[in-house]
Amino acid sequence: MTVADLPPRGDIGAPIQQQVNPSGTDVAGAYYIEYAYRDTHTPNMVAVVLADYRAFDTLGEVIVVFAGAIGCFFILRRRT
């Protein structure tokens, strides 16, 4: 059964909650928890990841919002 292979809810031993994952590379989540305040002096880690570490992701997301607004405008525009 495939669902049973998923880690149970809240399991600390799951691969995404470790500092080093099974293939030997560092896991992003533990790094963010450890270094977020040291790098930016901002207590909210989600804001730091959103606007600093993954700012390019957020830039693309803002552009998606802008493209959605432009798309609605051109779909529903009254032709005069």
Chain residues in the site for another protein (CB under 8 A): 3-4, 6-12, 14, 16-17, 19, 28-30, 32-34, 36-52, 54-59, 61-66, 68-73, 75-78
The least distance separating another protein from the CB of residue 61, rounded to whole angstroms, comes to 4
Tokens of 19: 């500092």
Q: Toward another protein, which CB reaches closer, 24 or 75?
A: 75
Contact 20, 27 (CB under 8 A): yes
Contacts of 21 (CB under 8 A, 6+ apart): 15, 27
Q: Does residue 26 sit in helix, strand or coil? A: strand
The least distance separating another protein from the CB of residue 7, rounded to whole angstroms, comes to 8
Q: Toward another protein, which CB reaches closer, 25 or 62?
A: 62
